[in-house]
Amino acid sequence: MDTRPLGKRGEDLAASHLREQGWEILERNYRSRRGEIDLVCREGDTIVFVEVKARSGTGFARPDQSVTRRKQAKLRRLIEEYRLGHRLEDSDVRFDVLGVTLARKQPRFEHIRGAL
Amino acid sequence: MLSRVLSAAVYGVDGYVVTVETDIAYGLSVFNIVGLPDAAVKEAQHRVQAAVKNSGFAFPNRRITVNLAPADVKKEGPAFDLPMAIGILAAGGSLPPGSLSGLAFLGELSLDGTLRPVKGAVAMAVAAAQAGLRGLAVPPQNATEAAMVESLSVYGVGSLNEAVGLARGQTTLTPTRTDVAALFARAAAQTIDLAEVRGHEHAKRALEIAAAGGHNTLMVGPPGSGKTMLARRLPTILPPMTLPEALETTRIHSVVGALSPDRPLVATRPFRSPHHNVSESGMIGGGSSPRPGEVSLAHNGVLFLDELPEFRRDVLEALRQPVEDGEVTIGRARSTFTFPARFMLVCAMNPCPCGFAGDPRHACSCTPPKIRSYRSRISGPLLDRIDIHIEVPALKYDDLSTRRAGESSSAVVERVTRARGAQLARFAATGLRDPVYCNAQMGPQLVRRVCAVSAQSDEILRAAIDRLGLSARAYHRVLKVARTIADLEEKESIQPSHVTEAVQYRTLDRAAW
């Protein structure tokens, strides 16, 4: 099954959801050799890296559970790299997981703050 | 974003001050602990995080680094939980700067922020006082023992919130006061008495001599004859503990967590009776960072080995150093530890495997080779260090039912204390470099100087040695014991009767053995 359309829709929904909360979206799909981050945002003074987990239905694992230990380590390195590259050493950073469930007409969001 | 909180830890039986440095930096939330933490110290991060949150504070979601200085000594146990939590709150700005100066913290946190007791509070309090600190916050269960260190204000804090209140100066906690002298007087009462032992006049006399000279003793007798009962009462006829002795022993007991709020001071001479399957490290102390063993827990008291031949041979061999030197040295790759271990050794054994050899009323079912192999389990070198051998026969009915109570411990201890006093005065007069506290500790030179015997006594000794086949070492033992018997009678010179009695206490040197 091709999941790209689902993933893409999920990310769009997540971005607009966060904007509604007053967040500023700094980057979408930040990529480097080390990997990629779905969204880089600013919430107040804190830079928040967001992994969007789109799901087409309920009844499966919680969205944050699909971030494995190995992926966590990779993300940590990626985030450190981003901070250094963007002169963000002196601001708070956080990593959130935003679950988006697309089962019904109205998408449901599940926001896990400080997942790393 | 950096804080320093003082704490303390135990190295062997001595405490030392540890500085808990906490840095909070921007970054993804990480909690790193450095400074050679063991597993329990590393796990502190989970307890600290939960306790801080559940005490109503925000836990910083940042990069937290905790350093336990000095960083080259291994840190063990959960006592750093509280100082780490305080350090994080201070680095996060929850505590005013300067509020922590001169104040040290100790305690294990539970997840809800209440405190659990720690081991070694006395030793750590001593270290804190030596470092010139003004106060020490400990879990309430440790407050009484820690407060025995008088130059330090000890606060019993029940939770993280109370500790924070103390640092902020909000709660007015009164320092715990321990009246050491009163505690000492109260705790020094004995609960058992020599008068409870009926009969066994010969054995009691021998124990009195052993107590008066600090002589190591071996009791031989059939099962149930009262060897253990007698041995248990030996601490009651030893001179009462002095306060410095009590504090020394208390410190060792504190390190292994053997003290409780209702018994914070070891004021009576300890009586340690390890089971015969004790391991070598259980007996002399051990572990990767050694903790004191039975010999050190018996410091200033009595170490009783019941069923002596059943003890493992390596365990008995390991006893030789502490018996000889009054301390035990444990070597490890990084360092050596020396623990005090000055105790009286009292051993008990059956005369044979079935226990009835020599008993007129029971037939012994052991073959002579069996008896020989049983007795040979005790090594000569250990037996050499035992001055007094006592035979404890099974009692006849008349002895058991006698109405006449024996002499009480308080009467005996008076004579024993006087005899010890005479010995100390004599040793002081000889002007020795190494301190000798009792007759049993005399070396051969000293024996020659203070155990001169008359020609008549010499004749008795010669006959005894010839007839009983005593060794040269046994000869010295006899002289020392004779010296003690004379001291009990407050005689400066050793009389023939003293020598005769002393020879009696060498029964195991006879050919039968």
How much is the pLDDT for B188? 78
How much is the pLDDT for A113? 84
CA distance A45 to A93: 9
How much is the pLDDT for B173? 83
CB < 8 Å & 24+ apart, contacts of B329-338: B330/B284, B330/B285, B330/B286, B330/B290, B332/B288, B332/B289, B332/B290, B334/B74, B337/B12, B337/B285, B337/B290, B338/B12
Q: Which residue has the higher pLDDT, A64 or B481?
A: B481
CA distance B285 to B338: 10
Of the partner residues B26, B28, B61, the one whose CB lies closest to the CB of residue A90:
B26
Contact assignment for A116 to B28 by CB distance below 8 Å: yes
Residue B276, both tokens: 């015969």
Interface of A with B in 29-88 (CB under 8 A): 76, 79-80, 83
How much is the pLDDT for B512? 47
Nearest CA-CA partner of B86 in B172, B5, B2, B170: B5
Residues of A in contact with B26 (CB under 8 A): 89-93
Residues of A in contact with B62 (CB under 8 A): 92
Contact assignment for A92 to B29 by CB distance below 8 Å: no
Residues of B in contact with A97 (CB under 8 A): none
How much is the pLDDT for B82? 97
DSSP E strands, chain A: 24-32, 35-43, 46-55, 93-101, 108-112
How much is the pLDDT for B513? 46
How much is the pLDDT for B350? 92
Of the partner residues B26, B28, B62, the one whose CB lies closest to the CB of residue A95:
B28
At A33, is the pLDDT very low, low, confident or very high (cuts 50, 70, 90)? confident
Total residue length of chain A: 116
Interface with chain B: mutation pick from A48, A93, A113, highest number of B CBs within 10 Å: A93
Tell me the pairing of strands B271-272 and B302-305: parallel
Of the partner residues A76, A89, A91, the one whose CB lies closest to the CB of residue B28:
A76
Which chain A residue shows the shortest CA-CA distance from B24?
Answer: A92
Q: Decide: B139 and B166 in contact? Cβ < 8 Å.
A: no
Of the partner residues A89, A90, A94, the one whose CB lies closest to the CB of residue B61:
A94
Residues of B in contact with A114 (CB under 8 A): 29, 61
Nearest CA-CA partner of B326 in B315, B338, B316: B338
Q: Quick check: bond before B60 cis, omega within 30?
A: no
| B257 torsion bin: left (phi>0), alpha (psi -120 to 50), beta (else) | left
Which chain B residue shows the shortest CA-CA distance from A77?
Answer: B28
Contact assignment for B29 to A114 by CB distance below 8 Å: yes
Q: Decide: B249 and B266 in contact? Cβ < 8 Å.
A: yes
Backbone angles phi, psi at B188, to 5 degrees: -80, -5
Residue holding tokens 């009651």? Answer: B236
Contact assignment for B26 to A79 by CB distance below 8 Å: no
How much is the pLDDT for A65? 62
Nearest CA-CA partner of B142 in B104, B171, B170: B104
- Cβ–Cβ pairs < 8 A, chains A and B: 22
Interface TM-score (ipTM) > 0.90: no
Q: Give the Å distances, CA to CA, from B320 to A88, B287, B327, B409, B442.
A: 66, 20, 10, 30, 16
Interface with chain A: mutation pick from B1, B26, B28, highest number of A CBs within 10 Å: B28
CA distance B465 to B242: 39
CA distance A115 to B20: 28
> Residue A2: pLDDT above 60?
no
Residues of B in contact with A91 (CB under 8 A): 26
Share of residues in chain A with pLDDT > 90 (%): 20
How much is the pLDDT for B70? 93
Of the partner residues B26, B29, B62, the one whose CB lies closest to the CB of residue A116:
B29
Which segments in chain B show pLDDT lower than 70? 399, 401-404, 509-513
How much is the pLDDT for A75? 86
